[in-house]
Structure formats: C-alpha cells, structure tokens
Amino acid sequence: MSSRFTPDADWLPFHPAPSVPRFCPPAGAVDAHCHVFGPGSQFPFATERKYTPCDASKDQLWTLRERLGFSRSVIVQATCHGADNSAMVDALRHSNGTARGVATVRMGTTDEELLALHEAGVRGVRFNFVKRLVDTLPHDELESIAKRIAPLGWHTVIYFEAQDLEEHRGFFTSLPTPIVFDHMGRPDVSGPVNGGAFDDFVSLLSDHDHMWTKVTCPERLSVSGPPRYDDFVPFAKRLVETFPDRVLWGTDWPHPNLKSHMPDDATLVDMIPRIASSDLLQRKLLIDNPKTLYWKEER
C-alpha cells in the first residue's frame, strides 16, 4: 500500500544499502536510539508535525540492525507521530522482546494507557525542547507527567540544544526520574572540548549521578563532516571516559531532518572504537548501560 503522505521536498531518505561495519559489536549490543516512521498508510503522521518524513518501517529497522551486528533496539517516539505511539508500540509488540520504547505522553494519557505502554515495552517518556520540532509543553505539565511515570520505574529522555541549558537547568534537576539527554545536549563541536560551553553539560552530569547521556549523532553535530566526523570524537570520548556507566549509543536511524548528507550507517558503527577505546567501555556502552534502563529484569 502506498503512503498517503508525501515526504518534504528536501527530505533525504535513509541510506538504501549500508555497508557492513568493520567494527563488530559485542554479542547483545543495543542500538539505543532509533525511530520508526509510519508507514504512513498504516500509522498516519500527526497533524501537528513539523516535518513529513519518508516511511521507515519496523521491518526495515530489523534488517538494518542485523546488517550492523546489533541484537536489540530502543525505539524513540519521533515528533512526526506526535503523542500517538502506535507505530512505535506496534514495532515493540512485533519484536519478540528485542526492542524497548520511549513514548510521548500527554496530561490526558490515562493510567490504563500508561500500563499498556509499559506492558508493550515502553520504559521512558521523551520531553522535547527543540523549537524547530515541537511546540514545547510548559514545565509544570511535564513535571506532572514525570511524577506519574516515576512509579513505573521509567526514565525521562530529554532533547534540548546546548544554548538552552540555562533556561531549563532548574527543570531538569527537579525531575524525579533518571534523565537521559539526547545527542550529548547538542554541543557545538567546532568549539573547545575542554574549557568552553561543553563544560556546563559535563558539570551537570558530574553533579547529578541520575543523569545520563547518549553519545549519538556525529552525522547531525559534526561540522568537519563525513565519513570520519573527526570533530565529534573528542566530545563523545570525554563523556564515555568520564561517565562510563551513564552513556548510551545509537544510530538515530532513519536520521530525521538531515539536510546535507545521509550517512552510510556502517560509518557510524565504525566510530564506536574511536569514542570507547577498550572492550570494557564498549561493553558498558552497548550492553550493560542500556540493560540498566531498558531490560532491568536481566541485571
């Protein structure tokens, strides 16, 4: 069935045939940040969305995962689906326990709906402060959502941009759950890795041991660009080495909103040994840490 949605004119589709990475992830490795889009014919995109993507189905995600050498996925609700988590939940339900999810929840979400999300494999909510993606909800609404999901043992995933840290810092520190920041808090990786604005993000994590970060998105953050994304490396490496038990890695497939290039996903996997240089760091990043948040029952 063809989608009734036409992707934005400047939308770059994901790489059609990624290479096999040179780096071989350890058995049980988790891609802890990826999305599914639609298919739009089955799971319509939200009316309030800020972009219309191409379809990127669960089956395409599983194919990519196998090609890259990963065993498990964490599917993060993307803003193009608003608070309708059906596509993500459908993927979880068809994953045979190999995927967990992060949902978008609203004030109107009932307790029964939260329990159904949990039963499907959701283990977190996502709060998004990136203005080009969403009309952000007020802090007090988000706070009451966080209070409701805390008893389920969930965490809060936060997507914000580095220049907005001061505005939201008090809110972040007030939340009652573990917090996971997307994409290292989106630093300017053309700036200094030590002694500049990035220190503020590092201090936030140093001061709060319930805060975690994803060391993701060289393809989004790098100024020096593909295929090596050299400028991204020292930032991710600093976080992996400073907070080895509080970092997660993911592909960000199918890479929403990239306007300059679309990565071969294997080049992203090949960055792992450059940011996590020992077997131990790689094991924590790819297996132990995601287990702590998403497959707690196995810890």
Catalytic machinery residues = 252
Which SS3 state, helix, strand or coil, does residue 110 take? coil
Size of the site for ligand 0GY (CB under 6 A): 9
Query: Any residues with CB less than 8 A from the CB of 179 and at least 6 apart, and which?
Result: 155, 156, 157, 158, 172, 208, 210, 211, 212
Q: Least distance from C-beta 157 to ligand 0GY, angstroms?
A: 9
**Is residue 137 a contact residue for ligand 0GY (CB under 6 A)?**
no
250, 256 contact by CB (below 8 A): no
Distance of CA 173 to the CA centre of its chain: 20
Q: Least distance from C-beta 99 to ligand 0GY, angstroms?
A: 16
**Which residue in the set 3, 79, 213, 282 belongs to the binding site for ligand 0GY (CB under 6 A)?**
79
CA atoms of 91 and 81, how far apart (whole Å): 14
Binding mask 23-62 vs ligand 0GY (x if CB under 6 A, - otherwise)?
A: ------------x---------------------------
CA atoms of 225 and 18, how far apart (whole Å): 18
φ and ψ at 80, to 5 degrees? -65, -15
Contacting range for ligand 0GY; rule: CB under 6 A; set: 20-28, 75-83, 205-213, 270-278: 75-83
Binding mask 179-218 vs ligand 0GY (x if CB under 6 A, - otherwise)?
A: ---x------------------------------------
**Is residue 3 a contact residue for ligand 0GY (CB under 6 A)?**
no
Host H or E run for residue 294: helix 289-294
> What are the Cα distances from residue 80, in Å, to 39, 43, 100, 207, 294?
12, 11, 19, 34, 23
Contacting range for ligand 0GY; rule: CB under 6 A; set: 2-10, 74-82, 224-232, 278-286: 74-82
Pairing of strands 99-103, 179-181: unpaired
Binding mask 249-268 vs ligand 0GY (x if CB under 6 A, - otherwise)?
A: ---x---xx-----------
Contacting range for ligand 0GY; rule: CB under 6 A; set: 7-15, 59-67, 72-80, 166-174: 72-80
CA atoms of 80 and 37, how far apart (whole Å): 8
Give the residues lining the site for ligand 0GY (CB under 6 A): 35, 78-80, 133, 182, 252, 256-257
